[in-house]
Amino acid sequence: MGLILLPILIFWLGMALYVLHTSYEVIGSLSSYIEMFGFSSALGISYACYLYWGFSRFKTRTKLAWYDIPLFFTTHKPSLFTFTLMLIIHSTGIMQWRNAYLQLVPVIMLFAISLGVLSAIFFAPQYMKRKGIQQIH
């Protein structure tokens, strides 16, 4: 299973680095501290909501394989579709003629999904231990 997860993990790591760089540029381009705080808050809230939503699918489980949670987060089709759509919207500049704050939505969603996937991969064992989920192989 590690042979499948490693390339996917490398992909998500690359996307997370791209999104972190993009978020840094967006924060630098904002004109006031209130806008920076609002954008940073939106990043944090969307990230936390994405993780909460993803992990809530597993709270009633009693047994899981070590790869179930990481595989769910890395290959979840709606998240992949949303990530791809937001990446296309952000890259092509479709939102340039819209409201300045509306342009931040793709970056926020990209941030939440990419860093949420990486966090879920690394925090899955702690989540399983905290919820008392037995790890099977």
76-89 pLDDT, tens digit per residue, is: 899 999 999 999 98
> Which residues form the domain of 93?
2-136
Tokens representing 123 are 């925090």
3-class secondary structure, 61: coil
Tell me the residue length of the chain. Answer: 137
- Predicted pLDDT of residue 95: 67
pTM for the model stands at: 0.87
Domain count, the chain: 1
The per-residue pLDDT of the chain, averaged, comes to 89
What is the Cα–Cα distance from 71 to 76, expressed in whole angstroms?
A: 8
What is the Cα–Cα distance from 88 to 94, expressed in whole angstroms?
A: 9
- Exposed, middle or buried by CB within 10 Å (0-12, 13-18, 19+), for 86? buried
